[in-house]
Amino acid sequence: MSQLRTLVISPNWIGDAVMAQPLLQQLKAAHPERPIDVLAPPAVSPVWRQMVEVAEVLETPFRHGALQLRERWKYARLLRQRGYVDAYVLPNTLKYALIPWLAGIAQRVGYKGESRYGLINCMHHDETPPRPMVAFYAALATPAQASQSAAQRQALPKPRMQVSPAQQAAVCQRLAIDAARPVLALAPGAEFGGAKRWPAAHFAALAQAVLAQQADTQVILLGSPKDRDACGEVAVALSAGMPAAAVFNLAGATSLAEAIALIAVSGAVVANDSGLLHIASALNRPVVALYGPTDPDHAPPFSDLAASISLRLACAPCKQRECPLGHQDCMVKLTPQLVWQSLQPMLAGR
């Protein structure tokens, strides 16, 4: 390939990949003639494929957590042939910084991370307190010593993704979902841990309130195979008195690409702080985001219609996988009625 290109190395987490999308908008605005490729783990690559700035997604062949130095050297030789003029290394690990260095890419941009001096030659430094995630990644598009003012952070582009009508129609047909009827997407899972999960009974009570107002609504429960139990609890709680055709428990039954398309079909999304929440935000769906042990200001939704709900208890954000106090009040005391107050206007306006 003779054309100069930019390489972006993806984080390992879905939500982080979505939060990095405004960086791509800035890179494309600075060099519209330069294709942007993304090197991403297979589990995250479907997210990047829905971003218009991405020319090609390259999937990493490496095992999670393994150094595999010989394999990285071989892969870097392949990258060397593609004509990259710069690389943006979003993970903070040493092993990902090795790749563009071994590939001979002249400009290698990233944060200090695991003492990556030399491997990263345009090094940025974390700020204290930490910046919101969008600003954290977007700063890589500016000179390393530049600081972002509050006004500049406010003016940053929002994360945006797109799903074609054909993708939406295909997944609806496969799963027997009627796109002409209202769809409410619920994401009861959270990869980080149980502390981030709103109780299943609360999700069920909220869905029942929606169905009482709009009886033709289809409720879809989305998540990975790891979320089967969380989604199953909601489905069981909803089964009493509800028509079977109204609830679709799809945890582990869709690919990530299909889940993205289903979110694009949805009239509204209610989710814990998770990758699916940030996908819904980037697709500009009406979103109600539920925060307990995490900071709602660190990675908020950016939809035109969005509500971030947090009780902001004295013990939050603890950022723990499980409640260290054993009560999980930050989520348990966040009632379905409180969430319904934010969701109801969104449904009324669609």
pTM of the model as a whole? 0.94
d(CA 79, CA 97): 14
Query: Do 136 and 191 reside in the same domain of the chain?
Result: no
Q: Which residues pair with 84 in a beta bridge?
A: 5
Q: Could you tell me if 176 and 305 lie in one domain?
A: yes
Write the DSSP assignment of 200-217 as a string of letters: HHHHHHHHHHHHHH-TTP
Residue 160 lies in a domain: no
Question: Over the stretch 148-190, which tens digit does the pLDDT of each residue have?
Answer: 666 677 789 999 999 999 999 999 999 999 999 999 999 999 8
pLDDT, one tens digit per residue, over 234-275 is: 999 887 766 656 899 999 999 999 999 999 999 999 999 999
What is the CATH number for 31? 3.40.50.2000
Q: Specify whether 37 is located in the same domain as 119.
A: yes
Residue 128 lies in a domain: yes
Asked whether residue 284 is domain-assigned, the answer is: yes
Last residue of some domain: 110, 145, 180? 145
* pLDDT tens profile 302-341: 999 999 999 999 999 999 989 999 999 999 999 999 999 9
Query: Does 159 reside within a domain?
Result: no
List the domain range (segments joined by +) for residue 303.
166-348
Residue type, 58: L
Q: Please check whether residues 76 and 204 belong to one and the same domain.
A: no
Kindly report, residue by residue over 68-127, the tens digit of the pLDDT: 888 889 999 999 999 999 999 999 999 999 999 999 999 999 998 887 889 999 999 888
Residues 78 and 188 grouped into a single domain? no
Establish if 286 belongs to a structural domain. Answer: yes
Based on the domain organization, do 127 and 182 belong to the same domain? no
Same domain assignment for residues 209 and 306: yes
- d(C-alpha 67, C-alpha 78), whole Å: 18
Q: Are residues 52 and 117 in the same domain?
A: yes
141 and 177 share a domain?
no
List C-alpha distances in Å: 35 to 7, 8, 42, 291, 330: 9, 11, 21, 37, 44
CA distance 68 to 62: 7
For residue 52, is pLDDT > 60? yes
Contact in structure between 7 and 110 (CB atoms under 8 Å): no
Count of the separate structural domains present in the chain: 2
Answer whether 224's CB lies under 8 Å from 251's CB: yes
Q: Is residue 155 part of a domain?
A: no
CB–CB of 276/259 below 8 Å? yes
Question: Looking at 84, 115, 145, which one is the last position of a domain?
Answer: 145
CA distances from 121 to 30, 100, 108, 146 (A): 20, 11, 6, 16
Do β-strands 84-89 and 5-9 pair in parallel, antiparallel, or remain unpaired? parallel
Same domain, 141 and 198: no
Element housing 280 (H / E): helix 275-282
Cβ atoms within 10 A of the Cβ of 120, count? 24
* Inside any domain, residue 154: no
83 plus 203 within the same structural domain: no
Residues 117 and 29 in one domain: yes
Q: Is 3 left (phi over 0), alpha (psi -120 to 50) or beta?
A: beta
Q: Is the four-CA dihedral 165, 170, 171, 175 of positive or negative sign?
A: positive
